[in-house]
Amino acid sequence: MHAVRHVVCAMSGGVDSSVAALLLKRRGYQLTGVFMRNWDSLDEQGVCTSERDCEDAYKVCHMLDIPFHQVSYVKEYWHEVFSNLLKEYQKGRTPNPDILCNKQIKFKHFFNYAVNSLGADAIATGHYARTSLEDEDVFQQRHYTTPQSLFRDRFEIRNSVRLYQAADLFKDQTFFLSQISQNALRRTIFPLAGLTKDFVKKVAAEAGFRHILRKKESMGICFIGERNFEKFILEYLEPHPGNFVSIEDGKIMGTHKGWFTFTLGQRARIGGQRDAWFVVDKDVTTGDVFVAPTTNHPALFRDNLRTDRFHWIAEEPPAELIRTKMMECHFRFLHQMPLMPCTVTLNQDGTVWVTLAKPVRALTPGQFAVFYKGDECLGSGKIVRLGPSMHTLQLGREKLGETEKFPSETGQNSKPAGNPLI
Ligand SMILES: Nc1ncnc2c1ncn2[C@@H]1O[C@H](COP(=O)(O)OP(=O)(O)OP(=O)(O)O)[C@@H](O)[C@H]1O
């Protein structure tokens, strides 16, 4: 058994990590605050927001009377997150830098720095998530009004640590944590696990953190912030003009500056077209971006996908999946998308096939398929291939002259044996 004494808290200068630090301090931990700088360019208003955030984090550490450090991962962020993002866009995918940033920066470089250089027993962040190391009953808001110790002081680390959704399901961030390593999770505390955002704001106000309560919630790409996406991405990738092509009749509808400025499902503004068109597919070899005339066009709906090697957080992979090769669980590929029942089939190389209970709009290669069982987040894998769209299936059926409906249209889940993508 190892008593956790020294906790290093990742402090962004925002409400959540400030309150996380405050709660740890009240609980009597030896605490250190660390601000990370990961991106050093100015935003569109010519402001370096990280300067102000760093000052805010420093002020909170000063108020809490704890040591403050700042550390730069600008190089690591560039090589391990941003270049990967550019490569993915070039391949026609839409990456998720927030998931990658947690995996590579916060829960790898920051974690190693905290443990190896600052001698931390554990790290803490202001994420809304919970682990199996915290007793559920102590993570309830009513306990936070009393000063007694709320975290288990000892980490009895025998079994794998599991990642669970936060009590505040609206704020739950397990989706973004679905790629972090077991090694880091074993030594991570999420002090906000049982709290609602409103309650966190109340605690911040009572503690006198007025300077941070005035700030806007962080939005946009992790550490880069809100940008005009097309303008931003064209600073890094050469324009690659191509055509918008109608998925219905192959007609050229207009031109664009590069397929990487679009993601599936997005409304495409096509010069000269008064009606709305939506991106349904891209061909990076020709530069064609395929568009459909309605937001709920069948070309946007699919119920099968394949991921790359899946990252399982606690069990590598779950015993049930090894035993039966198939598992029922829940799926999401966008933060806050309602969870959808799915069937997962494991391949020998660690990749998985996913069959969804219903076709979903705009499944997107490059995004992560995240699985849940109850309130446990099992892990995630990057979507690398999509099954046929409902449009393709309908066309195929018309060609074959078939009359019966596909299982996904009758409301039954289609679970073909073997590869559901073929
Ligand atoms: N620049 C940073 N330096 C140190 N830690 C950071 C930084 N940015 C984010 N973090 C850590 O990651 C957590 C989640 O960050 P994210 O931006 O997703 O959420 P947030 O709700 O805006 O958090 P906060 O209110 O603390 O800014 C933060 O609570 C903090 O612990």
Q: Does one domain contain both 319 and 355? A: yes
Nearest to 7 by CA among 157, 85, 115: 115
- Segment 107-150, tens digit of pLDDT: 999 999 999 999 999 999 999 999 988 754 344 454 454 434 44
Q: Of all atoms in ligand 1, which is nearest to the CA of residue 50? A: 1
CA 101–ligand 1 middle distance (angstroms): 11
CA 281–ligand 1 middle distance (angstroms): 34
Domain boundary among 195, 214, 233: 214
Question: What is the rounded average pLDDT of the residues 6-22?
Answer: 96
Q: Does one domain contain both 47 and 166? A: yes
175 domain residue, yes or no: yes
Beta bridge partners of 379: 312, 371
- Segment 353-379, tens digit of pLDDT: 999 999 999 999 999 999 999 999 999
- Segment 84-119, tens digit of pLDDT: 999 999 999 999 999 999 999 999 999 999 999 999
180 domain residue, yes or no: yes
Q: What is the strand order of the sheet 30-37 is part of?
A: 68-72, 30-37, 6-10, 122-124, 188-189
Q: Does one domain contain both 275 and 378? A: no
Q: 15-26 and 49-64 helices cross at what angle (nearest 10)?
A: 20
100 domain residue, yes or no: yes
Q: Does one domain contain both 54 and 194? A: yes
Q: Does one domain contain both 262 and 348? A: no
Whichever domain contains 263, its CATH number is: 2.30.30.280
Q: Does one domain contain both 44 and 74? A: yes
Whichever domain contains 326, its CATH number is: 2.40.30.10
What's the pLDDT at 234? 85
Would residue 377 show up in a list of annotated catalytic residues for this protein? no
What's the pLDDT at 219? 60
Q: What is the strand order of the sheet 277-283 is part of?
A: 252-256, 242-246, 288-292, 277-283, 267-268
CA-to-CA distance for 30 and 266, rounded, in angstroms? 48
Given the residues 222, 329, 342, 377, select the one marked as catalytic: 222
* ipTM reported for the complex surpasses 0.95: yes
104 domain residue, yes or no: yes
Token pair belonging to 85: 């993002």
What's the pLDDT at 362? 96
Q: Does one domain contain both 329 and 382? A: yes
Whichever domain contains 172, its CATH number is: 3.40.50.620
What's the pLDDT at 5? 86
Given the residues 9, 54, 61, 101, select the one marked as catalytic: 101
- Cα first-last separation, the chain: 51
Nearest to 157 by CA among 313, 314, 2: 2
List the residue whose alpha carbon is closest to atom 23 of ligand 1: 16
Burial of 95 (0-12, 13-18, 19+ CB in 10 A): buried
Q: Does one domain contain both 268 and 349? A: no
Give yes or no for residue 401 having a pLDDT over 90: no
Q: Does one domain contain both 173 and 68? A: yes
What's the pLDDT at 99? 96
Residue 365 phi, psi (nearest 5): -60, 140
Q: How many domains does the chain have?
A: 3
What's the pLDDT at 273? 84
- Segment 258-299, tens digit of pLDDT: 998 899 999 998 988 888 999 999 999 999 999 999 999 999
422 domain residue, yes or no: no
Quote the domain boundaries for residue 91: 6-137+159-214
Would residue 222 show up in a list of annotated catalytic residues for this protein? yes
